[in-house]
C-alpha cells in the first residue's frame, strides 16, 4: 500500500506540473510561444512576447503548481491511503511530489515532452519543501539579476547555490541531495543560455530584439 501511495503521488504531481501554463496563455492570445522569442514556454519568454500581466500570471501559476504538488497532493495521498501522521512517509511523499512536479513542467507530456526550465515551478516546490533555502537563493537571484540584467545567469547562480543553502539552513541530508539534483537539472536546462552567455549573445532583460537566439 505504501508503494502504491508513492506511485499515485508521483503520477498526480507529474500531471499537475505538466500543465503548460505559458503555452496555454499564449495560445489563448493566438501565439505559439514555442515559435517566438527564445522558444521557451516559461514566464520570461511569455513576459517578453506578451507583456508583464501575462508573464506575471504564468510565473505565479507555474510556482503554484509546485507548491500545490508538495503541500496539498502529498497530504491528500497520505490521507487517502491511511498513511498520514508519519513524518518519514510525509518527507518521502513530499520529495517524490517535488521532483515529479518539476519533471512534469520540464518534460510535459502534452508538448511531446518538451517544456520549460523549471525555475518558477522549482520556486513553488522549494517554498513548500525548504523555505529558508529558497529565501537564500532568491536573494542571490535578485543580486545577480540587478547587477547583470541576465535572468538566465541569475537563475543559474541561484540553482548552483541551492544545495549549499539547504545545508546552511539545517535541512536533512536527503533534502540537501534532492535540492542538489534539482539545481543540477535547472542548470542543465539552461545549457543553451550558458553557450550564449559565453558567446556574448544572451539578451539582457528589457532588451528589444526582433528575434532572439534560439
pLDDT tens string, the chain, 214 residues long: the values are: 889 999 999 999 999 999 999 999 999 999 999 999 989 999 999 999 999 999 999 999 999 999 999 999 898 888 988 888 788 889 999 999 999 999 999 999 999 999 999 999 999 999 999 999 999 999 999 999 999 999 999 999 999 999 999 999 999 999 999 999 999 999 999 999 999 999 999 999 987 554 443 3
| CA R_g for the chain | 17
Q: Is 112 helix (H, G, I), strand (E, B) or coil?
A: coil
Q: Which of 205, 62, 70 is nearest to 146 (CA)?
A: 205
Amino acid at each position: 500500500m505504501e508503494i502504491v501511495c508513492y506511485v499515485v503521488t508521483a503520477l498526480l504531481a507529474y500531471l499537475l506540473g505538466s500543465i503548460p501554463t505559458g503555452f496555454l496563455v499564449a495560445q489563448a492570445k493566438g501565439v505559439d510561444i514555442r515559435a517566438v522569442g527564445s522558444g521557451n514556454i516559461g514566464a520570461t519568454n511569455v513576459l517578453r512576447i506578451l507583456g508583464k500581466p501575462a508573464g506575471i500570471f504564468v510565473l505565479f501559476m507555474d510556482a503554484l503548481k509546485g507548491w500545490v504538488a508538495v503541500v496539498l497532493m502529498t497530504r491528500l495521498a497520505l490521507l487517502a491511503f491511511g498513511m498520514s501522521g508519519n513524518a518519514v512517509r510525509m518527507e518521502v511523499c513530499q520529495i517524490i511530489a517535488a521532483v515529479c512536479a518539476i519533471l512534469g513542467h520540464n518534460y510535459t507530456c502534452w508538448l511531446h515532452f518538451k517544456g520549460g526550465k523549471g525555475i518558477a515551478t522549482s520556486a513553488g516546490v522549494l517554498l513548500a519543501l525548504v523555505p529558508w533555502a529558497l529565501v537564500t537563493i532568491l536573494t542571490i537571484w535578485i543580486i545577480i539579476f540587478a547587477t547583470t540584467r541576465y535572468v538566465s545567469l541569475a537563475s543559474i547562480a541561484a540553482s548552483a547555490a541551492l544545495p549549499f543553502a539547504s545545508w546552511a539552513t539545517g535541512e536533512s541530508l536527503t533534502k540537501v541531495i534532492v535540492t542538489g539534483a534539482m539545481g543540477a537539472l535547472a542548470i542543465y536546462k539552461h545549457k543553451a543560455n550558458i553557450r550564449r552567455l559565453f558567446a556574448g549573445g544572451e539578451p539582457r532583460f528589457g532588451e528589444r530584439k526582433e528575434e532572439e537566439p534560439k
